[in-house]
């Protein structure tokens, strides 16, 4: 993903909640780990031990890859195929958890119902020559995001189901690898439901609703048309900060073998009411992304921890 000076010609989604990456984070994650239910005093243990004695490696290293049919950017009128393969590493400590559903989990705050994490996201580049609305305009570079995420957990840990209300604030950086630029920040509240043991098996279902708000220049990055880029069918436009749209994530994952997890998902997006609905780059009130892939664990610790 953006490992060469020139971004690949076939773009994928470039909004701050890229559907393929959302599927990676929400659907590819295995059933609840000790990261979700660390050892606790007797009062928290009353819920009983994890179901069926399931365990996970304390750490693991492997590869994850997938692809999808993805909108070019929020409210874009075009989709393109794209894919990615990356190495991954996960550590599932009693308190500190790395590399799964975020960069760091439980490091700052880990209470009965609240959790404060350091979250990250990324988005693929767009070659403007492949997008009719942006033809002749500068390309959209690879985006990286990082920032805090506060989570309130409605359901007790260890139950196999989760219902979480979250609020994330992440800085957005664009890069062509040579140059890095700050492009603003995103505010991303969300409501997520997850069933890790659907039908008492190793099938995991997840559904989430995530409104998106962009500030401090992020609106200009996606929707501004400078006078130099204007043409008869694309007038100049000064973008406004605020509401971008709302997306829903529907995902499923399954482990046919101990070290392999398959996942897939669909992400509808609805952008009616966007602060930049009048931009000539705003092309469709509704978009849909479909993606899937697999995760393979290549190396694992002998020590295992409860799910």
Tokens of 106: 């439980």
CB contact at 8 A, 119 and 168: yes
19-38+53-74+87-306 CATH pick, 3.40.50, 1.10.3210, 2.30.30, 2.40.230: 2.40.230
Distance of alpha carbon 292 from alpha carbon 259, whole angstroms: 17
Domain assignments of the chain as residue spans, ordered by start? 19-38+53-74+87-306
Query: In terms of pTM, does the model score above 0.75?
Result: yes
69: nearest Cα among 221, 288, 263: 288
pLDDT along the chain (307 residues), means of 10: 35 36 43 34 37 74 92 92 89 74 60 83 89 95 91 81 95 92 96 85 90 96 96 96 96 91 96 97 96 95 85
**pLDDT at position 138, please?**
94
> Which runs of consecutive H residues, i.e. helices, occur in the chain?
19-27, 42-45, 218-223
183: nearest Cα among 122, 99, 133: 122
**pLDDT at position 156, please?**
77
**10 Å Cβ neighbour count for 14?**
25
Tokens of 103: 């960069």
List phi, psi (to 5°) of 218. Answer: -65, -35
3 state SS for 136-171: CCCCECEEEEEEEEEEEECCCCCCCEEEEEEEEEEE
**pLDDT at position 284, please?**
96
Write out pLDDT tens, residues 29-38.
443 332 333 3
What is the chain's Cα-based Rg?
A: 20
100: nearest Cα among 122, 84, 120: 120
170: nearest Cα among 119, 98, 115: 119
Q: Which residues are bridge partners to 153 per DSSP?
A: 164
């Amino acid at each position: 993903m953006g490992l060469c000076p020139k971004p690949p010609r076939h773009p994928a989604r470039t909004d701050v909640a890229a559907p393929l990456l959302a599927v990676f984070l929400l659907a590819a994650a295995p059933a609840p780990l000790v990261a979700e239910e660390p050892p606790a005093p007797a009062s928290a243990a009353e819920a009983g031990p994890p179901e069926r004695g399931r365990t996970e490696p304390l750490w693991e290293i492997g590869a994850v890859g997938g692809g999808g049919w993805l909108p070019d950017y929020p409210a874009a009128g075009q989709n393109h195929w794209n894919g990615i393969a990356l190495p991954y590493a996960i550590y599932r400590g009693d308190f500190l958890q790395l590399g799964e559903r975020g960069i760091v989990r439980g490091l700052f705050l880990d209470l009965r119902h609240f959790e404060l994490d350091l979250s990250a996201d990324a988005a693929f580049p767009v070659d403007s020559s492949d997008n009719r609305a942006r033809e002749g305009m500068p390309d959209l570079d690879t985006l990286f995001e990082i920032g805090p995420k506060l989570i309130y957990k409605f359901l007790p840990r260890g139950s196999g189901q989760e219902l979480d209300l979250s609020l994330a604030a992440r800085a957005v950086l664009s890069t062509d690898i040579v140059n890095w630029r700050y492009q603003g920040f995103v505010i991303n509240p969300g409501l997520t439901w997850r069933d890790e043991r659907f039908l008492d098996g190793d099938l995991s279902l997840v559904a989430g609703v995530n409104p998106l708000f962009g500030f401090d220049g992020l609106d200009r990055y996606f929707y501004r048309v400078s006078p130099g880029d204007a043409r008869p069918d694309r007038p100049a436009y000064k973008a406004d900060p605020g509401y971008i749209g709302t997306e829903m994530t529907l995902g499923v994952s399954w482990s046919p073998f101990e070290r392999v997890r398959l996942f897939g998902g669909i992400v509808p997006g609805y952008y009616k009411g966007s602060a930049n609905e009048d931009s000539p780059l705003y092309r469709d009130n509704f978009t849909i992304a479909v993606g899937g892939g697999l995760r393979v664990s290549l190396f694992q610790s002998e020590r295992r921890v409860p799910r």
